[in-house]
Structures are given as C-alpha cells and as structure tokens.
C-alpha cells in the first residue's frame, strides 16, 4: 500500500474525538507491542508486551482510532500476529500518518523551547539509554 492509499484508508476510518480534531494515535509495533531484539526477520516477532495491549485498549475505550506503525515491509504479517495475540483489528501501515500522538520506544521527546541538542544526540547514539531529556 503506498502513502496515498494509506492516507485514504485513514481518512475513511477517521473517528472524531470530542477533545481533539485529530483522534488518531499512532503506535509503533516493535518495542511497544512486540518485544524486539535485533534485525527484523520476515515473519519473526518477539512476544507481546502486555502494557502495549493495555495501551491499545485504553486508547480505543477513550474513543481514539489506533493505527499501528511498523518499519517492516510485511504489514499483513504484523496484522495477523496482532490478531493471534488478542489485539483488536487495527489498521497497520509502514508510513507515518498524521496523528494526535505517536507512541514509539525509540522516539526522542522534543520541545522547541526547552530541548537541548546535546542531550538528544546522546540518545541518538544509544537509543536504549534512559536519558532525562528536557521537554
């Protein structure tokens, strides 16, 4: 699915949330919903992360549309794995789509007025570090 098809699918399934014009939450797959430890191998996934499933359910209970994001090419395999693990059916994409929030284990929080590049580069060099960034 290309980016235009992805955006059309998101638009067709959009849900309006009373507190936000954009009611979509984009949740990363590897590291948030599935434990990851190494390169992505076709059809090989780590065990599910229980707190990730809880987060998905909470977002849905609060009226948000949840979209699963993955860097993997095989979005259909990711979707099938999610279903087998008890996750509700959700749109899976490998394109970053507009959302009110992004949940990603490798994201670097950034605040235009408070964040420091010297702090962020430490995280870029070691993504698994637990740095206290100014946000």
Examine the domain organization and report whether 58 and 113 are in the same domain.
no
Examine the domain organization and report whether 39 and 100 are in the same domain.
yes
Q: Distance between CA atoms of 71 and 6, rounded to whole angstroms? A: 14
Query: Structural domain tally of the chain?
Result: 2
Q: What is the pLDDT of residues 40-80, one digit of tens each?
A: 777 789 999 999 999 999 999 999 999 999 999 999 999 99
Domain containing residue 69? 3-104
Residue 96 belongs to domain with CATH number: 3.40.50.1000
Residue 87 has pLDDT above 80, yes or no: yes
From residue 47, how far is each of 15, 30, 34, 79, 128 by CA, in Å? 30, 10, 6, 14, 19
Six-digit token string for 90: 């959700």
Examine the domain organization and report whether 100 and 135 are in the same domain.
no
**Residue 21: predicted pLDDT:** 47
Q: What is the pLDDT of residues 15-50, one digit of tens each?
A: 444 344 478 999 999 999 999 866 677 778 999 999
Examine the domain organization and report whether 100 and 112 are in the same domain.
no
**Residue 13: predicted pLDDT:** 53
Examine the domain organization and report whether 62 and 114 are in the same domain.
no
């Amino acid at each position: 699915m290309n980016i235009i098809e992805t955006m059309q699918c998101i638009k067709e399934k959009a849900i309006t949330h009373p507190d936000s014009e954009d009611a979509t939450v984009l949740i990363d797959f590897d590291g948030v919903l599935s434990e990851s430890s190494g390169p992505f191998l076709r059809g090989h996934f780590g065990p599910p992360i229980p707190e990730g499933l809880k987060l998905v359910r909470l977002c849905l209970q609060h009226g948000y549309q949840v979209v699963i994001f993955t860097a993997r090419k095989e979005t259909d395999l990711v979707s099938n794995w999610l279903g087998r693990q008890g996750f509700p059916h959700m749109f899976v994409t490998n394109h970053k789509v507009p959302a009110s929030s992004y949940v990603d284990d490798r994201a670097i929080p950034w605040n235009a007025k408070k964040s420091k590049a010297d702090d962020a580069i430490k995280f870029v060099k070691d993504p698994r570090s637990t740095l206290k960034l100014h946000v």
